[in-house]
Amino acid sequence: MHLAQQFQHNPVKVEIAIARPPDAIRQALYPVPKHLKTQLLMALLEDMEVDSMLVFTATKQQADIVTRQMKEAKKVKVACIHGDFQQKDRIKALEGFRSGKYQVLVATNIASRGLDIEGISHVINYDVPEHAEEYIHRIGRTARAEAEGDAITLVTPDDEPMIHRIEYVLKEQLERKTLPDFDYDVPVPSWAKPSAEALMRRATQSISLADRYRAMSGGRRR
């Protein structure tokens, strides 16, 4: 859409209705602090009966990080695919996932369309997609061939506006759940907090912008 607006003059837009996910997909939202997403993912994997799980991340870097963390846990066999992988490595990972060699496949949106693998019991949105249409394509990887499936989305406070958009497109409010016995109160580690220097820099920038605005408006406060 951005390219069309940038390079075309008065383009004609043809739009059809957005496909709805099958009723056989059980959708749920799991609110969670950002620093506990991987821990909750592992806890869900242990809590549920999972035949095969497809995990979507927003970036290639995040896909690598989640894959490494799951491998370090040594509780699950996991593979990863994204745009930096060579075609032969993607095929190897997909075939291993299809055959059951890997229980979990971590992927970016490269796997959200055109991936037809029967038997995927769970789709996890580790990161909420940027568009509602992407959400529908992602969760459509489960409940194939008249089977049932679960689609779970990990939701941080920053994700709420996109969740509202997804619910608007789906014309339904998605169920919110919590995992019993999971510790949601683990404090944010120091590495995940903004440094004092960064906070001071932001505050200084805000003050500078405010002074500049007042100077441009003749010193008047609004």
Tens digits of residue pLDDT in 172-185: 999 999 999 999 99
Determine phi and psi for 178, rounding to 5 degrees: -125, 155
Pair 106, 78: CB distance under 8 Å = yes
Alpha carbons 188 and 216: distance in angstroms, whole number: 40
**CA-CA distance, 64 to 191, in Å (whole number)?**
19
What are the structure tokens assigned to 213, written together?
Answer: 């605005």
Record the pTM.
0.79
Q: Which CATH class for the 21-187 domain?
A: alpha beta
pLDDT (tens place) for every residue of the chain, 222 residues total: 778 888 988 888 887 666 778 888 999 999 999 999 999 999 999 999 999 999 999 999 999 999 999 999 877 899 999 989 999 999 999 999 999 999 999 999 887 776 778 889 999 999 999 999 899 989 988 987 778 999 999 999 999 999 999 999 999 999 999 999 999 999 988 766 665 555 455 555 544 544 544 454 455 444
